Amino acid sequence: MDMTIESAGLKQSQAILKRAFDVTLSAVGLLLSGWLILLAWLAASVDTRSNGFFTQQRVGKDGKLFTVVKLKTMRPSRELNTTVTQSGDPRITPLGSFFRRTKIDELPQLWNVLVGDMSFVGPRPDVPGFADTLKGEERLLLSIRPGITGPATLKYRNEEELLAEADDPEAYNREVIWPDKVKVNLEYIRDWRLADDLRYIWQTVAG
């Protein structure tokens, strides 16, 4: 990676503080929510008639691929073959809708945070075709671990509704939402403070 781009990211002391915070909070989170993850996995397995854990390759720090773990909220559909999810998506089960609304489906990502694939706060990890195509200063997004939540995630908490209203959801996501997310996340990295991470986490939990 270009050294100019790297130097514009988090300072070493900031990166160490952010990682220490992630490890501590994710370990505590797994201890407290392990029982809920297990019960939700069992329920999702019955609901989707398959393994209740959803795994997928996502683009992580430095552009390296990793396997994200979430609870499964959808059943396969022969009619739909897209990674873009919009409001009213027929693949989402009633239980899956509840998991998404309450963020329970995100809990297994605590493991991704603990092992270093992700952070609590940062750009959302995208499937190949987005973050791995960034060029120039935009590659600063790859200098930190992707997050469970973040400023762009909170700004587009109603993303599924926006996509449902678009004539071409995939084009709208790629041409409008994605570029704005890049801009928001670049500002987050350049002005990073632990206090902001705490605020974003609270806003996510509080809804």
* 30 neighbors 114 (Cβ within 8 angstroms): yes
Whether residue 26 has pLDDT greater than 90: yes
Residues 8-27 have a mean pLDDT of 94
The identity of residue 93, as a single letter, is: T
For the stretch 67-126, pLDDT in tens is 999 999 988 766 655 655 655 677 889 999 999 989 999 999 999 999 999 999 999 998
| pLDDT for residue 84 | 58
The identity of residue 188, as a single letter, is: Y
CA distance 71 to 104: 8
Sort strands 65-71 and 119-121 into parallel, antiparallel or unpaired.
unpaired
What DSSP line would sit under 112-141, residue for residue?
A: HHHHTS-EEESSPPPPTTSGGG--GGGGGG
Whether residue 5 has pLDDT greater than 50: no
CA distances from 196 to 74, 78, 121, 204 (A): 32, 42, 9, 12
CA distance 184 to 187: 5
Look at the pTM and tell me if it is higher than 0.75. yes
